[in-house]
Amino acid sequence: MLTTDGAEQARLRAPAQALLGPAAVATMRPQIARSVEASIDSVVGNEGPVDKVLADHTAAAALAAVLTTELSAKFLQMVRASRLVLNPLPQPALRLQTVAASTMVDRWTTSHVATLADVSEPQCPAERFATDPRLSSQEKAATMGLCIIGGFSPLTDLVTSGLMLARDPELRSKMLEAPTAFLEELVRWQSPVPFAARQALQDIDLPSGTVRGGQRCLVHLGAANHDPEQFENPSLFDPSREQGRPLGFGHGAHYCMGAALTRIALPTIWTAMLDRWHEFVLEGDSSWTSEPFPRRMRPAALRWAAR
């Protein structure tokens, strides 16, 4: 799906709407909320120190709910391994681990699609997707794999960076009062997927030169999201921002397939945490990592006080 356009892109993407489209994900909101709450209970109970493990568990819980599977140790291991596959610029030392992680995701999705397809009457988005005759079993597994690889790491990182920002009482209030605006600004400000590979359909003149039709190039979404001509003081995190056209989820035919899931899962996760705890402090460095992809804050421990 990432490397196709036109009719083939539409053929692959249309059935995926049954799994990840806004209407499909909206029907899973209660299941996502229950899964997130259960994941928090399983990690920390009601109080105590919390670190990035909680972000991993809650993001995995949201994915598990949408994919209609249990948040098992095997599932958590698989989605954590998928982080390696997301990075298009892996370190040479990690190439074998990346291949192993990709194989792990492929095997899980292939098995899970077969399980979901073996139902007589589909009842949920994942089952309707798995029984859709428009795609082959291999294409369904690949689409589900894309959901995991492209969804887990950015979702986890956005959970973490959102909580880092919410240490500020004013921003914490904005997160709770207007979670959608907070989320949209966070996706712009952080740009967890900072660039995307594209092919120019025609010559495009830019201030730095001309991109010829047919040439492949990297579109830097992070730079676009910090364009001072679009966003006043772009480095400032401002949930009340109204101007500009952010590209955190991309644009056009390749618009992020997981945008609807992110828009429901993130506020659900933040609210579940902040309803349970308050007055948390950061223990460690909150700087950005040196990795160019994905763009994320360095993991740090959070210590919470129970209500």
> Pseudo-torsion of CA 102, 105, 111, 116, nearest 10°?
-140
Q: Which residues 6+ apart lie within 8 Å of 305 measured at CB?
A: 47, 277, 278, 279, 280
pLDDT of residue 125: 96
Residue with tokens 């993991």: 299
Rounded CA-CA distance 58/61 in Å is: 5
- Segments in 121-249 forming alpha helices (H): 125-130, 137-165, 169-177, 179-190, 221-224
What single-letter DSSP state applies at residue 257? Answer: T
What is the β-pairing status of strands 48-50 and 195-199?
A: unpaired
Angle at 270 between CA 265 and CA 275, to 5 degrees: 130
DSSP letters, 265-304, are: HHHHHHHHHHHHEEEEEEES--PBPS-SSS--BPP-EEEE
Cα angle, residue 29 at apex, residues 273 and 46 outer, rounded to 5°: 25
**Structure confidence at residue 91 (pLDDT):** 76
In the 8-state DSSP scheme, what is residue 209? Answer: E
Encode the chain (307 residues) as per-residue pLDDT tens digits: 677 778 888 899 999 999 999 999 999 999 999 999 999 888 765 444 455 578 889 999 999 999 999 999 999 999 999 988 887 777 777 888 989 999 999 999 999 999 999 998 999 999 999 999 999 999 999 999 999 999 998 998 898 888 888 888 899 899 989 999 999 999 999 988 888 888 888 999 988 899 999 888 888 889 999 999 999 999 999 999 887 788 888 888 888 899 999 999 999 998 988 887 766 666 666 677 777 777 777 666 666 655 5
How much is the pLDDT for 64? 96
CB contact set of 144 (below 8 Å; sequence gap of 6+): 19, 67, 109, 112, 113, 129
Q: What is the CATH number of domain 6-306?
A: 1.10.630.10
| C-beta of residue 40 within 8 angstroms of C-beta of residue 57 | yes
